[in-house]
Amino acid sequence: MIGKEEVMKTRILGRTGIQVSEIGMGCEGLEGKSTEESQRLVDCAMQEGIAFFDVYTSNPTVRRNLGGALSRYPREQFVIQGHLCTAWKNGQYCRTRQMEEVKESFEALLTDMGLDFVDVGMIHYVDDQNDYEQVMNGPVLQYAQQLREQGTIGCIGISTHNPDIAFLAVESGFIDVIMLSINPAYDMVPASEDVNILFEQETFDRVYQGIDPKRDRLYQTCHNTGVALTVMKAFAGGLLLDERQTPFGCAMTPVQCISYCLDRPAVASVLGGMASVEEIRASAAYCTASAAEKDYSPILANAPKRSFDGHCMYCGHCAPCAAGIDIAAVNKYLDLAEAQGAVPETVQNHYDLLAHHASECIRCGSCMRNCPFGTDVIQKMKQAASLFGK
């Protein structure tokens, strides 16, 4: 019998070469849990193949419980994304840029969890430009680089809710992984330094025209530069799962939300703050879900006051193609190349490896009849054939 951990697929974390499970686990769900409860949740996650853990919290109890639960597994079986710049003061978590606190807290993370190293050293919660410049032009980045040189962290990441900051991080060349809020509701919202707007109902009470172009371009740029994206807030804090709150008029399932995120270019893993065995299994259900269960396109296409018309969402509804073309993949590679202004070698290589190419399109129009978003697939196949040479 195939174990569930064998059903879970893995992806490479961008240019780092680190392999992570497509679904990961945040530490929020371990808050307030006993040692025994924490162990039960971690065991359930590992049994489901969830082996990528994000540890932003500075709560020593949560760290010790998580570390103790993971200590019963070989270190090579799990990946840790540990955060720099969090501290524990007066029994509460806080963000800090004070280097004494930064160092003390990170060293405590290793001690609390019983680790010699973390795979991703994530600079925590950078949402405005002044903070970004302080972090990247000061001792925080220097400390992260020192840890990487020592082998205490495998690579450097940064977490943000702001696509503008994510763009700066990509352009810096210093950042290998970006932890970003991604879901179909947030994707419609322009960049902002105010993270609070992402949790306000009125933010979504207006007409949108699909994915914000800056966010779309960010995903493509990350893919082209080898910067991996790890996802937080995939369910928009539960907003997308509640038909009374969702901006789409119909609740999505956890599987649909995860599917949407994993379809975005550069996304390696979706990390959820799972607080129960039921929540873990609801996310892990993605691995065995049918194409129909993963399909988020009807919800987005029929959403009131929201239009994704003409924009390929890579949802795969265009299949099957009479010529056997993987239309969603061709469109993704076309968008990646157009975002770059040229055809990157890696994108050309991926396109060349496709079993069938855009030039084989017979223009039957079946894909366009199937597309929920009204994408002019035939025209996009023409563009791809011209751009990629076949």
pLDDT at 257: 96
Judge contact between 189 and 241, C-beta under 8 A.
Answer: no
Confidence check: pLDDT of 92 > 50 = yes
Confidence check: pLDDT of 281 > 80 = yes
Confidence check: pLDDT of 318 > 80 = yes
**Could you report the per-residue pLDDT of 367-381, keeping only the tens digit for each?**
998 887 788 999 999
* CA–CA distance, 100 with 295 (Å, rounded to integer): 48
**Could you report the per-residue pLDDT of 227-267, keeping only the tens digit for each?**
999 999 999 878 889 888 788 888 999 999 999 999 999 99
Q: What is the mean pLDDT of residues 93-100?
A: 93
* CA–CA distance, 269 with 229 (Å, rounded to integer): 7
* CA–CA distance, 108 with 125 (Å, rounded to integer): 19
Confidence check: pLDDT of 282 > 80 = yes
Judge contact between 179 and 156, C-beta under 8 A.
Answer: no
* CA–CA distance, 26 with 211 (Å, rounded to integer): 26
Judge contact between 174 and 141, C-beta under 8 A.
Answer: yes
Judge contact between 154 and 120, C-beta under 8 A.
Answer: yes
pLDDT at 214: 87
Closest CA to 278 of 40, 52, 54, 39: 40
Strand (E) positions, the chain? 10-12, 19-21, 23-26, 52-55, 79-84, 86-89, 92-95, 118-123, 153-160, 177-181, 208-209, 228-232, 267-272, 306-307
First and final CA of the chain: distance in angstroms?
42
Most confident listed range (140-149, 288-297, 381-390): 140-149
pLDDT at 2: 41
- What's the pTM value of the predicted model, to 2 decimals? 0.82
Torsion of CA 303, 305, 309, 314, to 10 degrees: -40
- The values of phi and psi at residue 119, to 5°, are -70, -40
Q: What is the mean pLDDT of residues 53-57?
A: 96
Confidence check: pLDDT of 209 > 80 = no
**Where residue 284 falls among pLDDT bands split at 50, 70, 90?**
very high
Instruction: Out of 61-75, 283-297, 366-380, pick the least confident.
Output: 366-380
Higher pLDDT, 193 or 340: 340
Higher pLDDT, 72 or 3: 72
Q: What is the mean pLDDT of residues 215-226?
A: 93
Confidence check: pLDDT of 82 > 70 = yes
**Could you report the per-residue pLDDT of 336-351, keeping only the tens digit for each?**
888 667 788 878 888 9
Higher pLDDT, 273 or 168: 168
pLDDT at 11: 98
Is residue 339 helix, strand or coil? helix
pLDDT at 1: 32
Q: What is the mean pLDDT of residues 172-177?
A: 97
Q: What is the mean pLDDT of residues 137-157?
A: 98
Average pLDDT, the chain: 89
